[in-house]
Structures are given as structure tokens and as C-alpha cells.
Amino acid sequence: MTSPSSSAHEETKVIDGVHYHQYDVVIVGAGGAGMRAAIEAGPHARVGVISKLYPTRSHTGAAQGGMAAALANVEEDSWEWHTFDTVKGGDYLVDQDAAEILAKEAIDAVIDLENMGLPFNRTPEGKIDQRRFGGHTRDHGKAPVRRSCYAADRTGHMILQTLFQNCVKLGIEFYNEYYVLDLVMTEVDGVKRPSAVVAYELATGDLHVFQAKSIIFATGGFGKIYKTTSNAHTLTGDGVGILWRKGIPLEDMEFFQFHPTGLAGLGILLTEGARGEGAILRNASGERFMERYAPTIKDLAPRDIVARCMVQEVQEGRGAGPNKDYVYLDCTHLGAEVLETKLPDITEFARTYLGVDPVVEPVPVMPTAHYAMGGIPTNIKAEVLSNNDTVIPGLYAAGECACVSVHGSNRLGTNSLLDINVFGKRAGRYSVEYAKTAEFVPLPQDPAGPVRDMIESIRNAGGTERVSALRKELQEEMDRGAQVFRTDESLGQVTDTITKLREGYKNISIHDKGKRFNTDLLEAVELGFLLDLAEVVVYSARNRKESRGGHMRDDYPLRNDEDYMVHTMAYLTGDASSEHAGDHIKLDWKPVVITNYQPMERKY
Amino acid sequence: MAAATQTLTAADAFTITLIIRRFLPDVDDEARWESFDVSVYSTDRILDALHKIKWEQDGTLSFRRSCAHGICGSDAMRINGRNRLACKTLIKDLDITQPIYVEAIKGLPLEKDLIVDMEPFFEAFRAVKPFLIANSTPEAGKERTQSVAQRAIFDDTTKCILCAACTTSCPVFWTDGQYFGPAAIVNAHRFIFDSRDDAADVRLDILNDKEGVWRCRTTFNCTEACPRGIEVTKAIAEVKQAVLRGKR
């Protein structure tokens, strides 16, 4: 058997047990954004992709419903309408220059994928088919529009496979099951500059230093700060946490999206595409309650609104089931054929995990933690910022880990598969452009030292706290106090719990002391990132005393543009291990970029 | 309404026995079976039971997992002698009066507990040129057209998540490590029958090799093992037909 594009790597130096590699561009993460960047950069530079998973395991593959682009294949549409919907959907906290790029470049992004081989569903004329999705409208909110390009209800799967296939075609070098745990910054002329990343190889326990001219973070989200989530076990925010610990600010962390239709009790995602195809949300009495809240587009209102309405229905006693704690997603009128051909995966999920057949009975659903709107601040070239506007040369971020901000305070469905393609491609392009003229930043002495110390201190820790117990308490507490509805009191309680858990984390121990495939050790490392990020989420949320998009404060139920029409910027300052969040987190604001659309009341 | 949507209480939990084939490379010379009693609910998945063991009893137990709902393909393993995804196998669908046997998938080098070396599997995948090869250049800024019927021909094989459940259920693959295996053929099928692709002949040549499609003995293990419901054996048969008679 021959292998046209083996994943063999070049010989590398080994010094004191640490492996040293050099690339023009290193990409951390092999989901949609990372692999799209690799495809863009690969033909023009030496590119290495480092991923904690095999690329096809990445959570891009779990995305279902589609990718928005105003192709106008099935009805009139325009990128300008898409821009407006994105801005309004994000409750005006979107940077409008970035949203315009997203909507304009969407069209090429979809065509790129089709040309790479993605098997989109087709119209009778053989063009890419499109369907409706929440918050996507014709002519500035007049009616739903068919904008989402899709491949059944496995669009993310097909994007991930297609990108991986094209990486194989290009012979991209992957380092699979390597956990990047540190960004190395070297002081040059009094300025700290990124020079490398340090990775832990799961199979061996060896450390690797990847020196690069350009470094792209494409590490995805951190939904595992919550218990009820559509996110994979591996979405622990390592990349975002690494940059946070390096003093790079995090933007808009209080805005977390709760997807309306998670399987009740489990959080497994059922695509909004179901409602795009005509499914309806009903309360216990069978009422189509979204008609009351969003009379124009009803069940296709944006996710923040639908999730809130569902919780409100339950809180006011109209929930279904023995405990009246969920609502129904009714697909029964769609018919078996639509379900089997356009929504086969979610039909199977309901059957497998709830024993409910969507063809004949409604499916119990409740909101599930789904997507971080906030993250690493970047500009429209995917360059990472060290404050409101200073670029860190050679450092890039794209996808869910980044905050451009095209999603503002609430992301529209289908805009994340779009985001990873548009800004993944941009990260690839601009990182190569930079690497062509830049020199390697020299490595400091023993660049792997801090990671070695962290790993060894966890491996040898002799404490009494169990990692899984701390993590469970964090996740349950975040569900309780920092979910769809928040108050100062609920967030205060979560803050206290996190403070306690951070103390507990200093007193852990693990079972597995081995070198090889030590997932016990890595779960402990991941918990450290989860705790750091949850603290930033809650601290930022407590400070925003208004309700906007995905951030709903029961004690401040209205949007307040006068005081809060600004992005939150959180900075790690002082002693990171100090007890109280206020002792090591400093908050600041960043203006929103407004071009064409002044904030208006958000009605659907 | 289904049990999963009712609130489960401690009273609904019961104890099952999992017998897991362990191998800790730092300690063990060879694999050994180890028994664990674990408290579960009927709607729990085998993955939940494994997590409970890892998180509450033995942190050294090692396995891969990510999405936990059957789409990432990380957690293929042998459960009571059948290849399944741990996250798609519910306790209620197993006979819990007997211990449940869990071991790594067969035919790939064992690394640790339920973890195998996936590299030979991906090497076979890469060898069939699993990417679109088109001679025509689409009009700038336009998609290639494809009819609904043309797309339907290869729809089934686009579902593959590369979990290796099929390949490692194949008796031919167990005895002949050189055989491409079902998953690689499925991924070749996905492009051979794509109307936009122009390299079917190249892939058919590769699969006409002595380690190619002709090694398939049509035992249907692969079809039974596929967690995505792909008709794997049928896809292999279609590739065999195409080798003999051409693609159409």
C-alpha cells in the first residue's frame, strides 16, 4: 500500500528530551477554522497543524444546519441584507465592518467549499439548495429568507471532511493528539513577542517546541464550563486560556449562546434547520408560543430570544412533561420524507437518546450551552490584539476562540460555519503574508520549562481533591447561576463557588502517573483552563448591568445603549493565583464599530 | 413519554458489571481483563459508564472520546464482541444480567486500554485519494452543478465519520494488515460516484490491487458495525462492479 501524502514529519532536534520544530506558520487546532487556514497557507509556506484530536474528531463536525451566504439561488437575497441581519441578530454589539466582510465573502466561501468537493444539497436545477434559518430575513426583517446552504443536517460534518480531504490532497503536516499548553513569548527590544508554542504529545508524554514566524490559534470554544451543553468533552478552551494566562485580553466573554433546541436533559443539539424546514415549538398545552413573542418570524427568531421564551414558558408553568420542565419541538407535520432526507441525523438522535420518534411525536427540548460569542480579540485580518487596537505581530486567531466581532452579543445560526471559513481563510492568507517577510523570533532559554513544571506538579500532586468532582461542581453551578437568565445574586454565588474551586484545584491529585496516553493528567490541565475562563465569563457578566443578546439580566431587563453599547475587555493583571477575581481581573471597554446601522429596538 | 425525559432519581440507578480489557504499557506485559461494578441508569451510554469508572474508581482507565453523540468517531470499541460507538450504545439495549465485555477494536496495534494506533487506518484512507479530482475548472465564482439524482448516488458514503468500526470488524483485515479495509473503500466510493470527479479510473486501479476490493468476502460485518447506518458492503460491491464494468 502506498501513501500519497503521509503524515511523516521532518527530522527534528531533540535537546534534553524536548523536540524542536520550525515552521513558517503553525496552526493550533484542526477544526474548520484551522484547516481552512492550512489550505490557504499550505501552498505558500511551510505549515504545521497541531491538534489535540485527530482532525476529523473536531467539533465543527457536529454542526448541522448550514452555512449562510446570500447566493440567491432560490429567492432574492443580498449580502447587505445578510449584514443587517447579523448586526441586528447580535443586538448591535457587532463590529459592522467585520460583519460586512463576513456577509460579502460568504458567497466565495461557499463556492470554495463546493469547488473543493463538498456535497451540498441541490435545487432541481442542480444549484446549491438553501433553506431558512433563525434571524435571516429578506429586506431588513420583512420575512424569513432561504439563505442557509446545507448538506442534509450534517453540514458541519461535510465541511470538516471536505477540509480534511483537501489537507490530505495538499500534504499538510499534522501533529495529531498533541496538546498545545503554552505560547512562548520572547522579550525583544523590551517588547514581548510570540516565538513558539509548546505541545504535550499524548502518545508519549514528550514535550515539543514549535517555533514559528506566524502562529494561528483556532482552538474552538469552551462550552464545557457548563453541564448542559452541545459541546464535546474536549471543548475546554485551552487555546483561549493559554492566551489569557499570557496577558492577552478576552473580549465579550459574558455573551454565551444557549441553543434553544437541545434534547431535554441531555443537551444534544437538534438543528435550528428543523424549524427552518417548518418545525414548531409548543408548550404543554400545544400552543405555538413563539407567535406571542415574535409575531413576524415566530419560531425563526434568533436563538437568544427563542431560548429566553422557552425558559419563560417553563418558569410560568407552561412546560411539558412530568416536571413541566421542557417544551416540545414538533416536527410531526413535516412528514417522514423530509425528516429522513433533510434531517436524518437529528431524527436518529431523538430516537437513540430519548426513545422519541420525531415522525410521530413531538421531541422534548430545552436550551443548551452552545457557543461563545466572545474570545480572543482580533481585527478583520485575524490578527490578535493586545488591547483595543494594538496588533501583536505574528499572532492570529480565528473561529469560535476568536472575537472579531461578527456575532456581537448573539450569533445567528449558520454564521459560525461561515465565520470559520471566512476568517480561517483570512488567518491563513495574512499569516503567510507576515511570515514571508518576518524573521523567527529567538527562543528564550528552556522554552518548554513552564509546561514541564506544570505537568510535573500535576503528576506528582498529592492532594485530596478529585478533578472530576471539581469539574462537576463548576458545571452544575454555571448551569444554575450563569445560564439563560442571570442576576447579580446568582452570578455572585457562582463567583464564590469558583473561588472555592480554584482553591480546591491547588489541592488535587491524579491516579495515572504514566507517560503514555495519560488522559487523566490532561483532564486536570483542562480543568485549570475551564476554571480560569468560567471566572472571566462570570466576572464580565456581573459587570454588564443590562440585558443584551445572549446576556439576560433579570435585575436589568432592558438594553442600555447609553452605558453599555461597548465591548467588554477583560485583562489578567497582577497575581493570577490570587483568591478573588477582582484582585486579578481588570475590565475595560472597547468601542463598537458602527458603519451603516444605528442601534434600533430589536423586534421580530 | 420516554424514560429519558423523566427525572431519574437515585432509586432508578442500578449496578452493572463491566469487564474491560486493560493494557497499561508502562506496567503490563500483556493485556488482562479487569472487572468493574458501576452504578448507572438505563438511559446511560456505555461511555457514561466508562467515565464513571475513570472519574470515580480508576483514573488510569484510558479511552478516546469527544462529541459523545456519535458524530466525531472517537470512541469505537468492541462491546460484547461487536464494534460499536460507546456513546451510541445505551445500557438499556444490552443484556445487563450478564457482565458487559468492553475491549479495544481489533486489527490495529494496541496502545493502552481501549486506545489503538489509528495511523495504519488513516494511511489506507489517504491511499485511495479521498479528495475531489476534477479536470474542469468551474466558472469563476460559481458552483459546479449536480442534479439531485447524481448527488443521491453517493449520499450514503458521505456519512462516514472515519471511526474504523467497519474496518476493524472485518475478518480479512484482522488476518491481513495490508488490506485497505471497508472504510477506505467507502471513501473511495464517495468520490468514484461523484459526478463532479474525473479520477474514478485512478482509484479503481488502486482498488483493483491484490489488497483491494477483491479481498472482501462479503461477510457484512462492516455493514452491521457502521454506527452511521452506511450500507458498507453494498458500497464495496458497487466498487467491485465499477472495477469490472466501469463507473456507469
> What are the pLDDT digits (tens) for A566-586?
999 999 998 888 999 999 999
- Interchain CB contact of A4 with B (< 8 Å): yes
Q: Any known ligand binding at A55?
A: yes
For the record, the C-alpha cell of B242 comes out as 465499477
Residue with cell 489541592: A507
For the record, the C-alpha cell of A242 comes out as 493559554
What average pLDDT does the segment B90-100 reach?
Answer: 96
pLDDT of B4 above 50: no
- Interchain CB contact of A107 with B (< 8 Å): yes
Residue B176 pLDDT: 84
Give the CATH fold of the A14-62+157-162+175-256+371-436 domain.
FAD/NAD(P)-binding domain (3.50.50)
Q: Looking at beta carbons, which residues of chain A come within 8 Å of B65?
A: 233
- Interchain CB contact of A204 with B (< 8 Å): no
Catalytic residue among A146, A147, A282, A303: A303
Mutate to test the interface with A, among B42, B51, B67 (most CBs of A within 10 A): B67
What average pLDDT does the segment B13-39 reach?
Answer: 97
Of B5, B143, B191, nearest to A326 by CB-CB distance is: B5
Q: Looking at beta carbons, which residues of chain B come within 8 Å of A165?
A: 130-132
Could A128 and B143 be called an inter-chain contact, meaning their C-beta atoms sit closer than 8 Å? Answer: yes
What average pLDDT does the segment A447-463 reach?
Answer: 97
Q: Looking at beta carbons, which residues of chain B come within 8 Å of A108?
A: 141
Please enumerate in sequence order all residues whose Cβ is within 8 A of that of A57, keeping only pairs 6 or more positions apart, or say none.
A234, B64, B66, B67, B72, B73, B74
- CATH code of B119-245, in short, is 1.10.1060.10
Q: Looking at beta carbons, which residues of chain B come within 8 Å of A117?
A: 131-132, 191, 194, 196-197
Burial class (CB in 10 A: 0-12, 13-18, 19+), A487: middle
- In chain A the first and final C-alpha atoms are separated, in Å, by 58
Q: Any known ligand binding at A259?
A: yes
Q: Looking at beta carbons, which residues of chain B come within 8 Å of A161?
A: 158, 160
Nearest CA in chain A to B65: A233
Residue A12 pLDDT: 83
- Interchain CB contact of A70 with B (< 8 Å): no
Q: For residues A70 and A78, is the Cβ–Cβ distance under 8 A?
A: yes
Could B2 and A355 be called an inter-chain contact, meaning their C-beta atoms sit closer than 8 Å? Answer: yes
Q: A117-126: per-residue pLDDT in tens?
A: 999 999 999 9
Helix B182-192 with B148-155: angle, nearest 10 deg: 170
CATH match of A261-367 with 1.20.120.420: no
Q: Any known ligand binding at A417?
A: yes
Question: How many H-runs (helices) and E-runs (strands) does chain A carry?
Answer: 17, 23
Domain parsing of chain B, residue ranges: 13-116, 119-245
How many angstroms separate the CA of residue A167 from the nearest CA in chain B?
Answer: 9
pLDDT of A5 above 50: no
How far is it, in rounded angstroms, from Cα A22 to Cα A18?
13
Q: Looking at beta carbons, which residues of chain A come within 8 Å of B159?
A: 154, 157
Reference A119, options B152, B183, B184; nearest CA is B152
Judged by average pLDDT, the poorest of A249-253, A486-490, A578-582, B228-232 is A578-582
Written as one string, the DSSP assignment of A63-113 is --S-EE----SSS---HHHHHHHHHHHTTT-S-HHHHHHHHHHHHHHHHHH
Please enumerate in sequence order all residues whose Cβ is within 8 A of that of A574, keeping only pairs 6 or more positions apart, or say none.
A583, A584
Residue A576 pLDDT: 87
Residue A4 pLDDT: 37
Of A57, A61, A355, nearest to B4 by CB-CB distance is: A355
Q: Looking at beta carbons, which residues of chain A come within 8 Å of B203?
A: none
How far is it, in rounded angstroms, from Cα B41 to Cα A416?
35
Which amino acid, one-letter code, is at A444?
Answer: P
How many angstroms separate the CA of residue B20 from the nearest CA in chain A?
Answer: 17
Of B4, B55, B146, nearest to A265 by CB-CB distance is: B4
C-alpha distances (whole Å) from A244 to each of A3, A404, A591, B222 are 40, 16, 21, 46
Q: Any known ligand binding at A31?
A: yes
Sheet architecture: strand order including A250-251: A250-251, A566-572, A585-591
Residue A575 pLDDT: 86
Could B131 and A510 be called an inter-chain contact, meaning their C-beta atoms sit closer than 8 Å? Answer: no
Q: For residues B79 and B106, is the Cβ–Cβ distance under 8 A?
A: no
pLDDT band of residue B247 (cuts 50, 70, 90) is confident
Q: Any known ligand binding at A65?
A: yes
Q: For residues A559 and A91, is the Cβ–Cβ distance under 8 A?
A: yes
Q: Among residues 318-357 of chain A, which lie with CB inside 8 Å of chain B?
A: 321-323, 325-326, 345, 348-349, 352-356
Q: Any known ligand binding at A58?
A: yes
Could B55 and A57 be called an inter-chain contact, meaning their C-beta atoms sit closer than 8 Å? Answer: no
* Percent of chain A with pLDDT strictly greater than 70: 98
pLDDT band of residue A10 (cuts 50, 70, 90) is low
Nearest CA in chain B to A109: B141
Mutate to test the interface with A, among B65, B69, B207 (most CBs of A within 10 A): B69
Which amino acid, one-letter code, is at A176?
Answer: N
C-alpha distances (whole Å) from B100 to each of A46, A62, B16, B45, B49 are 48, 29, 8, 12, 11
For the record, the C-alpha cell of B188 comes out as 473511495
Q: Looking at beta carbons, which residues of chain B come within 8 Å of A325?
A: 7
Of A125, A326, A515, nearest to B26 by CB-CB distance is: A515
Of A2, A56, A127, nearest to B127 by CB-CB distance is: A2
Could B62 and A322 be called an inter-chain contact, meaning their C-beta atoms sit closer than 8 Å? Answer: no
Could B158 and A158 be called an inter-chain contact, meaning their C-beta atoms sit closer than 8 Å? Answer: yes
Mark whether A303 is an active-site residue: yes
Q: Any known ligand binding at A578?
A: no
Of B5, B26, B161, nearest to A516 by CB-CB distance is: B26
How far is it, in rounded angstroms, from Cα A195 to Cα A213?
7
Nearest CA in chain B to A519: B62
Nearest CA in chain B to A107: B141
Could B67 and A59 be called an inter-chain contact, meaning their C-beta atoms sit closer than 8 Å? Answer: yes
Dihedral angle sign, alpha carbons of residues B221, B222, B223, B224: positive
How far is it, in rounded angstroms, from Cα A159 to Cα A270?
18
pLDDT band of residue B246 (cuts 50, 70, 90) is confident
pTM of the model: 0.97
- In chain B the first and final C-alpha atoms are separated, in Å, by 48
Could B67 and A1 be called an inter-chain contact, meaning their C-beta atoms sit closer than 8 Å? Answer: no
- Interchain CB contact of A476 with B (< 8 Å): no
Give the CATH fold of the B13-116 domain.
Ubiquitin-like (UB roll) (3.10.20)
Name the helix (H) or strand (E) containing A59.
none
Could B158 and A161 be called an inter-chain contact, meaning their C-beta atoms sit closer than 8 Å? Answer: yes
Q: CB pairs below 8 Å between A and B: how many?
A: 194
pLDDT of A171 above 70: yes
Of A111, A169, A233, nearest to B68 by CB-CB distance is: A233
Within a 10 A sphere around the Cβ of A445, how many other Cβ atoms?
Answer: 6
How far is it, in rounded angstroms, from Cα B38 to Cα B96?
12
Q: Which CATH architecture has domain A448-565?
A: Up-down Bundle (1.20)
Which amino acid, one-letter code, is at A124?
Answer: P
Could A108 and B111 be called an inter-chain contact, meaning their C-beta atoms sit closer than 8 Å? Answer: no
pLDDT band of residue B3 (cuts 50, 70, 90) is very low
pLDDT of A38 above 60: yes
Name the pairing type of β-strands A18-28 and A207-217. Answer: parallel
In the beta sheet, which residues pair with residue A556? A553
Q: A238-282: per-residue pLDDT in tens?
A: 999 999 999 999 999 999 999 999 999 999 999 999 999 999 999
Residue A6 pLDDT: 43
Within a 10 A sphere around the Cβ of A58, how many other Cβ atoms?
Answer: 31
How far is it, in rounded angstroms, from Cα A270 to Cα A64?
8
Mutate to test the interface with B, among A105, A160, A161, A314 (most CBs of B within 10 A): A161
How far is it, in rounded angstroms, from Cα A425 to Cα A430?
9
Q: B155-210: per-residue pLDDT in tens?
A: 999 999 999 999 999 999 999 878 999 999 999 999 999 999 999 999 999 999 98
Within a 10 A sphere around the Cβ of A190, how many other Cβ atoms?
Answer: 5
Could B65 and A127 be called an inter-chain contact, meaning their C-beta atoms sit closer than 8 Å? Answer: no
For the record, the C-alpha cell of A489 comes out as 445574586
Could B158 and A345 be called an inter-chain contact, meaning their C-beta atoms sit closer than 8 Å? Answer: no
Could A517 and B7 be called an inter-chain contact, meaning their C-beta atoms sit closer than 8 Å? Answer: no
Domain parsing of chain A, residue ranges: 14-62+157-162+175-256+371-436, 67-150, 261-367, 448-565
How far is it, in rounded angstroms, from Cα A251 to Cα A567?
7
Could B127 and A510 be called an inter-chain contact, meaning their C-beta atoms sit closer than 8 Å? Answer: no
Dihedrals φ, ψ of B160, to 5°? Answer: -60, 130
